[in-house]
Amino acid sequence: MTATPLLPLDPALVDRARRLAARAAQPVVDLARSHTTVSVERATLRLAGLTGADPDGIPWVNRLADAVAEQVGIEHGIALPVFHALADHPDLTRLAHAAAAGGVRFAFPKGAAAEAARERATAAVSHGFDRIDRSRRRRDALVAEIGDPPQRPWIYLIVATGDIYEDIPQAQAAARAGADVIAVIRSTGQSLLDYVPEGATREGFAGTYATGENFRLMRAALDETSREVGRYIRLTNYASGLCMPEIAALAGMHRLDMMLNDSMYGILFRDINPIRTFVDQRFSRQVHARAGIIINTGEDNYLTTADAVEAAHTVTVSQLLNEHFAHEAGLPDRLLGLGHAFEINPDLPESFRMELAHALLARQLFPDAPLKWMPPTRHMTGDVFRGNLLDGFFNLAGVMTGQSILLVGMMTEAVVTPWLSDRDIALQNVRYVLNACAGLAEDFHPPADGFIAKRAGEVLGEAVDLLGTIVDDGLLDAIADGTFGIMKRPADGGRGLDGVAKRAEDYWNPAAAILDRDAAAAPAREEAAR
Amino acid sequence: MSRIVRPYGDTTGDGMVQLSFTLPVPHDKRAEGAALQLAAKMGLDGAMLVHAKAIGEGYTFFVVYGASTHLVNLDDVKVVERDYPQLSPKEVNDAIRERLGRKLCVVGACIGTDAHTVGIDAILNIKGVAGEKGLEYYRELRVVNLGAQVAVPDLVNRAVDEEADAVLVSQVVTQKDAHLHNTREMAAAFREALPPGKRPLLVVGGPRFDEHAAAELGVDRIFTRGTTPSDVASYLVHRLVTSREAEPAA
């Protein structure tokens, strides 16, 4: 659904913003195309069907990839040596056992042996892509059969108990109470693990581990609930942190519907190396494009550390960069859940009008993207009564400006992880606003010379200026200088840098090859779909 | 004036409080009776059940008003009173420059798995909190903010490298008492790495700490909800500049 333009934005300025974003992003795209990471290589093994973990809980994909990396490095891609060695082993799992025990010599075959290894590798990863394609078709069929939520925005709720078996009934209860999208928050710190835990997990810190089995269990439970409530309930998790590409692959195969997948979040907020992040991010977005997964970007986070008025244009800049990175990876607008947030200090005069201006600017710049509207957190205090009022205004702004996905704000945001009653009160708040003024957007036409239109134009102007500076200085330097969210992150610092390698001339990765073909064909495919 | 107080609704001495809670029972007469009985056991006299609503299957949410039968004697209330003078940023800078003669180094971090930098950033980032600028704004303070999820050994090494005068740690995540475990681990690591006279001042902060527990956790000071950068700066000057001068030379 294309949003109607309500602001008198200068089309030439909008166009200039997009061209600058593309120029600013290009060096990073080149960087992503010319490097690989341990997690990209492990994701390839996961697509090829390798699962399970050793007795210490370290996944076999890690054991196998580490063994190859140690012997011959990852700069050529690990698929060729792995699938060459596979000629002497019954399957990948047993090859991984042998490699972990030090019993495999990895080498690069030539001629016919190389051709045979390439064929085996391509066939294996194609099975993974077949699984992703089947999941996508299954989602389409279920949505056609059961139906989408009757209203926009979709109502997005978070569960996070640490125990997947406790999360499931909570998620089902939330769906029955009105949630359209369930997000299972990950355990604090999972983003810094350089492996994806295995199996169903029952213990986490402030969240539940993202694992393939947890994905499968929750999706199956929500399929049941979807039929019961007559809406397809979407499931969300996080493709972020050091294992972003692997989690994207698991999400695609287990039919998750949305994934948080920001281009810069890991760099800024988890101090993950910028190059690692951009390489992993590109691969994971290509997987999401193939899987039909809506990505959610994390611009809201900048406003939790920087001032929401002064830094409003950094959100716009990041949205434009995220849009470019997503398009380059083959994601169409309808899978682009760009984020923004209601984080202006409520003590400021006209704070709500500024919120409307910022929200409307995003709506108009990205008319076909399912924008994700994030609730106040920074100015939520222990005063839960005021918090509930603030959440009401957040909901109102979301409805007035036609936001697509609404993350339900909790009045106890600053106090506790949400209680059952907090969630009920929060949903009551959303339902009241939706019921009272679902159609208010029709009547909302801010005057062209009014406060809202001026403020939106101002933010766009500042965004264009900043993009110009980023083009001149380079995006990596801008990140190093603390342009986004005030965090300073140099390109040669951060976690996970040792898992990055520049691709050799003969780099070969069958999954990356298939995904690059997808991305190249994406514009044509979108055109045909219209 | 009486030092004995009761809650105030709209009349002195009425003792009125409101509370809300959920019971894991379906909403029916028995559930409402259970809510009132709980209120009575909590010390509410003449409790009124003003709201009861089913939440999902098998849970009911209640709002109850009633008169508390408990009294509080203000003379028996124990708090940690501020034991140092509150200084303005200028006074902090002047004190350090004139009396320490060098910049005072502060190393800050969120340790363990805690990724919530909102606390440490509020205190350290120039942006600050509650209208006050953070410690980075103070000319005579040298601030090294290590950010989120810093391993304790990394924090200790960095503090040693920077010759930190003070280490500030913020802990927001409290699941399974993670904030207490992490704080004890940090205090122990500094004790192990450095002799008493060389150790930086250890300061922790977070919304769920008990400010009386500093000694038990092995740190010098705990700051809780509502702390501003100038509270922390004033304390640092008090401990590291003003009171050091008063100590006899070793």
pLDDT digits (tens, 9 = 90+) for B72-100: 999 998 877 778 888 988 999 999 999 98
Judging contacts by C-beta atoms under 8 Å, the chain A residues touching residue B20 are 421
Contact criterion met (CB < 8 Å) for A176 and B61: no
> Which among B21, B118, B175 has CB closest to A205?
B175
The two tokens of residue A152 are: 């926009």
Q: List the 368-387 stretch of A: residues with Cβ below 8 A of B.
A: 378, 382
CB A215 within 8 A of CB A254: yes
Active-site residue A372, yes or no?
A: yes
Those residues with Cβ within 8 angstroms of residue A75's Cβ, 6 or more apart along the chain or in another chain: A36, A501, A502, A503, A504, A507
Q: Outline where A292-414 has alpha helix (H).
A: 302-305, 312-328, 351-365, 384-400
Task: Return the residue in A188, A225, A303 with the most chain B beta carbons within 10 A, the one to mutate for interface testing.
Answer: A188
How many angstroms separate the first and last alpha carbons of chain A?
A: 12
More confident residue, B218 or B2: B218
**CB-CB contact of A82 with A121 (8 Å):** yes
ipTM above 0.90, yes or no: no
* Phi, psi values for residue B26, rounded to 5°: -65, 155
pLDDT at res. A397: 98
Low-confidence ranges of chain A (pLDDT < 70): 1, 304-305, 485-487, 524-530
CB proximity B19 to A under 8 Å: no
> Does A420 lie at the interface with B, CB-CB under 8 angstroms?
yes
Cβ contacts of B225 on chain A, cutoff 8 Å: 382
CB atoms < 10 A from the CB of A334, how many?
Answer: 15
Q: Do A420 and B125 touch (CB under 8 A)?
A: no
Beta bridge partner(s), residue B64: B19, B49
The span from the CA of A32 to the CA of A519, in Å, is 14
| Strand-pair partners of B145 | B108
pTM of the model: 0.84
The Cα–Cα gap between B215 and B159 comes to 21
CB A283 within 8 A of CB A243: no
Which residue is it, tokens 């699941």? B175
A338, A369 in Cβ contact below 8 A?
A: yes
Q: Which two tokens stand for residue A485?
A: 């969210």
Partner residue opposite A486 with nearest CB, options B127, B176, B207? B127
- Nearest-CA distance A157 → chain B (Å): 15
**Which tokens is A34 given?**
């010319």
Is it the case that residue B250 has pLDDT exceeding 60? no
Convert the pLDDT of each residue in A162-206 to its tens digit: 899 999 999 999 999 999 999 999 887 788 889 999 999 998 877
Fold entry, domain A152-454:
TIM Barrel (3.20.20)
Window 155-194 of A, Cβ < 8 Å to B: 162, 173, 176-177, 187-189, 191-192
Half-sphere exposure of B74 (CA within 13 A, CB side): 7
Residue B139 has a CB neighbour count (10 Å cut-off) of: 13
What are the structural domain ranges in chain A? 36-146+495-525, 152-454
Separation CA B226–CA A414 (nearest Å)? 12
> In angstroms, rounded to a whole number, what is the distance separating the alpha carbons of residues B67 and B6?
9
Comparing alpha-carbon positions, the chain A residue that sits nearest to B118 is A305
Say which residues have a Cβ less than 8 Å from residue A90's Cβ, sequence separation at least 6.
Answer: none
How would you classify residue A285: left for phi > 0, otherwise alpha for psi between -120 and 50, otherwise beta? alpha
Partner-chain contact B118 A378, CB within 8 Å: yes
* Catalytically annotated residue among A280, A372, A391, A507: A372
Residue B41 to chain A, least CA–CA distance (Å): 22
A101 touches chain B (CB under 8 A): no
pLDDT of residue A292: 98
pLDDT band at B249 (very low <50, low <70, confident <90, very high): very low
Give CA separation, A223 vs A142, A226, A232, in Å.
9, 5, 7
Which tokens in the block code for residue A405?
């996905």
In whole angstroms, give the CA distance from residue A258 to residue A264. Answer: 18
Non-local (6+) Cβ contacts of A334 within 8 A are A294, A368, A369, A370
Q: 3-state SS string over chain B?
A: CCCEECCCCCCCCCCEEEEEEEECCCCCHHHHHHHHHHHHHCCEEEEEEEEEEEECCCEEEEEEEEEECCCEEHHHCCCCCCCCCCCCHHHHHHHHHHHHCCCEEEEEEEECCCCCCHHHHHHHCCCCECCECCHHHCCCEEEEECCCCECHHHHHHHHHHCCCCEEEEECCCCHHHHHHHHHHHHHHHHHHHCCHHHCCEEEEECCCCCHHHHHHHCCCEEECCCCCHHHHHHHHHHHHHHHHHHCCCC
Whether the per-residue pLDDT at B224 is higher than 60: the answer is: yes
Any idea what the Cα angle at residue A508 is, between residues A502 and A513, rounded to 5°?
A: 110
pLDDT at B23 over 80: yes
Q: Find residues 185-244 of chain B whose CB sits inside 8 Å of chain A.
A: 207, 225
A59 has which bridge partners?
A53
Judging contacts by C-beta atoms under 8 Å, the chain B residues touching residue A270 are 115, 148-149
Nearest CA in chain A to B173: A206
